[in-house]
């Protein structure tokens, strides 16, 4: 398969310049791929799919027959991020996570940023994900955002923008690690001559971070990963991370808790738990503190947490900054807490609670992407240019009824990467989700999940909406003169 007929169609392409020339960092890869004998790439593709199925790297589809599993489509052509680009992303993410942490800690304590009028307090206090139960809490090291999976996108000009912060229970990192493993097993030659930074250290870094937040008196902290169970769409990831860290994977029914601590039921009695990496949303965490109908959680967990007997990652209450209206104020937070300008900009955002913005949004529904403040996974949104009149009217009514709950953004022309479609390469839109760990220091995994909208022209990359993924290569700074020669 050759790239000769590949067309960037005016979009920013990660591999080709607008004049059709390969970008310097992509040349070697393109040569390797083009040098394969006829049909070889498709044979690799099928081998990769078989391997994913055999390894059971699947996700569950909600609304499908119970327990239906699918592989997350994996495209063999990687997405490459040159070292200098990555350096900026890394610094930008560190800055952003520091500011978000400071913000969350502030609003659950003194609320200085609200009192100073930098962010309207009724916006924060009315957020669905604001948890008054967390007021006054001081999690270990004052960290609230232990694991963040920020979504970045590039527009037509190639500029990176932060689309979402995903502070609550970001998922997908297991695909980053497994995609790399699969590519190394199936198509090792593709790495030839390139210095790609490894991603395999993530589980060690994660464990180190989790141990670092244990309540002070635990010398050998017992860390567990709390999962909703095998029917959760991210169950594969939960078991994978537990296995890679060597910690136990627990369900709510395995734990008992009160203000003395959290304990798990073992064949030899009850054992104390010090740190819980929870993959259950706040709402379902503890029926005594949050939703009383939750069967997944652990009654008494929040009592143990408040008493300082157990650490939770991520900290309950941090989702307040995931509210898409509050997201719009993150650049202000960075200026307020960091006293510097944001390295990575936000996507320009219209806030429907503002009279002027709302008028503009209502008049331009066919051009904008409208999102409700608390949905994720590609649900609850309107992609204006791809929507019908009826859908636009429906959203207009929703916005009028509850302006606080809606934002709108221009429809970005997401960047594209060559992707195997049938027996040729076609450009498909992508985003990028890097993973950030925050404990003693802030660590950014050199890599990330590149999600691909597999449907032609589609801008929705979510796995629940037919998205796939690619391996993401961050090149090492000294990665060979060959890329810099031209």
Partner 1 sequence: MMVTPKPLLSRVADSVYWMGRYIERVENVARFLGVNQNLMLDLPRAYSNQWQPIVDTSGDRVPFQARHGAATEENVVRFLAFDPQNRNSIYSCVVAARENARSVRETISSEMWEQINSLYLLVMEESRKRVPQVLPEFCHQVRMGCHLFQGVTEVTMSHNEAWHFIRVGTSLERADKTTRMLDVKYFILLPSLSDVGTPYDDIQWAAVLKSVSGFEMYRKRFGRISPDRVVEFLLLDGDFPRAVRHCIGLADQSLHAITATPPGAFSCAAEQQIGLLRSELDYAQSDDIIKAGLHEFFDALQLKMNRIDECILSDFFAQCLAGAAGVSPRVLASQSTAP
Cα 283 from Cα 306, distance rounded (Å): 16
Smallest separation, CB 239 to partner 1 (Å): 4
Stretch that binds partner 1, among 151-159, 240-248, 429-437, 442-450 (CB under 8 A): 240-248
Scanning 90-98, 148-156, 237-245, 328-336 for contacts with partner 1 by CB under 8 A, the matching segment is 237-245
- Cβ 267 to partner 1 shortest distance, Å: 5
Which residues are CB-neighbours of 471 under 8 A, at least 6 positions away?
78, 79, 179, 180, 183, 450
Q: How far apart are CA 435 and CA 426, in angstroms?
A: 28
Q: Is 68 in the site for partner 1 (CB under 8 A)?
A: no
Size of interface with partner 1, in residues (CB under 8 A):
41
Which segment (20-28, 95-103, 243-251, 466-474) binds partner 1 by CB under 8 A? 243-251
Residue with tokens 């929703």: 398
Tell me the DSSP string of 379-442.
Answer: -SEEEGGG--HHHHHHHHHHHHH-GGGEEEEE-----EEEEEETTEEEEEEEEEE-EEEESSSE
Residue 307 in the binding site for partner 1 (CB under 8 A):
no
Applying CB under 8 A, does 104 fall inside the site for partner 1?
Answer: no
256 and 262 Cβ atoms separated by less than 8 Å = yes
Please choose, out of 218-226, 353-361, 450-458, 464-472, the segment that lies near partner 1 by the rule CB under 8 A: 218-226
Query: Binding to partner 1 by residue 266, rule CB under 8 A?
Result: yes
Q: What angle do CA 109, 441, 147 make, to 5 degrees?
A: 70
From 10, 269, 292, 481, residue interacting with partner 1 (rule: CB under 8 A): 269
302 lines the binding site for partner 1 (CB under 8 A): no
Q: Does 88 contact partner 1 by CB under 8 A?
A: no
Only one of the segments 123-131, 257-265, 336-344, 382-390 lies at the binding site for partner 1 (rule: CB under 8 A); that segment is: 257-265
Query: With binding defined as CB under 8 A, does residue 267 bind partner 1?
Result: yes
Residue from 242, 313, 347, 432 that binds partner 1 (CB under 8 A)? 242
Pairing of strands 223-226, 275-278: parallel
Phi first, then psi, for residue 10 (nearest 5°) are: 80, 0
End-to-end CA distance of the chain: 25
Q: Using alpha carbons, select from 328, 404, 408 the residue that is nearest to residue 366.
A: 408
Output phi, psi for 433, to 5 deg. Answer: -115, 100
Interface residue with partner 1 among 36, 55, 128, 343 (CB under 8 A) is 55
Binding interface with partner 1 (CB under 8 A): 53-56, 217-220, 222, 225, 229-230, 235, 239-240, 242-243, 247-251, 253-254, 256, 258, 260-261, 263-272, 298-299, 309
């Amino acid at each position: 398969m050759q790239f000769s007929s590949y067309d960037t169609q005016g979009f920013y392409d990660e591999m080709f310049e607008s004049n059709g020339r390969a970008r310097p960092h992509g040349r070697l890869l393109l040569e390797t791929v083009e040098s394969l004998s006829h049909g070889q790439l498709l044979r690799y593709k099928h081998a990769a799919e078989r391997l994913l199925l055999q390894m059971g790297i699947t996700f569950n589809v909600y609304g499908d027959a119970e327990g239906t599993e699918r592989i997350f489509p994996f495209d063999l052509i990687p997405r490459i991020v040159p070292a200098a680009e990555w350096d900026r992303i890394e610094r930008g993410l560190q800055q952003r996570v520091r500011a978000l942490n400071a913000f969350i800690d502030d609003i659950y304590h003194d609320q200085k940023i609200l009192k100073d009028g930098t962010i309207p307090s009724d916006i924060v206090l009315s957020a669905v994900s604001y948890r008054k139960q967390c007021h006054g809490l001081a999690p270990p090291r004052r960290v609230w955002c232990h694991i963040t999976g920020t979504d970045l996108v590039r527009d037509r000009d190639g500029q990176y923008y932060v689309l979402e912060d995903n502070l609550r229970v970001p998922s997908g990192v297991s695909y980053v690690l497994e995609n790399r493993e699969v590519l190394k097993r199936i198509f090792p030659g593709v790495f030839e001559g390139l210095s790609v930074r490894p991603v395999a250290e993530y589980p060690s870094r994660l464990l180190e971070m989790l141990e670092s937040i244990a309540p002070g008196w635990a010398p050998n902290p017992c860390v567990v990963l709390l999962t909703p169970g095998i029917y959760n769409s991210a169950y594969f990831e939960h078991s994978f991370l537990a296995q890679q860290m060597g910690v136990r994977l627990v369900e709510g029914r395995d734990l008992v808790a009160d203000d003395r601590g959290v304990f798990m039921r073992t064949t030899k009695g009850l054992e104390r738990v010090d740190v819980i990496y929870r993959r259950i949303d706040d709402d379902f965490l503890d029926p005594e503190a949050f939703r009383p109908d939750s069967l997944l959680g652990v009654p008494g967990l929040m009592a143990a947490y408040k008493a300082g007997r157990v650490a939770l990652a991520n900290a309950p209450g941090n989702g307040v900054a995931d509210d898409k209206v509050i997201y719009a104020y993150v650049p202000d937070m960075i200026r307020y807490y960091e006293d510097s300008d944001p390295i990575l900009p936000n996507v320009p955002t219209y806030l429907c609670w503002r009279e002027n913005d709302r008028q503009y949004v209502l008049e331009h529904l066919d051009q904008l992407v409208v999102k409700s403040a608390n949905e994720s996974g590609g649900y609850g949104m309107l992609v204006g240019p791809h929507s019908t009149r009826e859908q636009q009217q429906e959203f207009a009514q929703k916005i009028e009824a509850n302006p606080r709950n809606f934002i709108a953004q221009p429809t970005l022309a997401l960047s594209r990467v060559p992707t195997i479609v049938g027996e040729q390469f076609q450009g498909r839109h992508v985003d990028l989700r890097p993973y950030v760990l925050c404990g003693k220091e802030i660590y950014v995994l050199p890599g990330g999940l590149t999600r691909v909208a597999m449907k032609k022209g589609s801008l929705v990359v979510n796995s629940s909406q037919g998205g796939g993924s690619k391996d993401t290569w961050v090149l090492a700074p000294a990665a060979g003169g060959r890329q810099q020669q031209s």
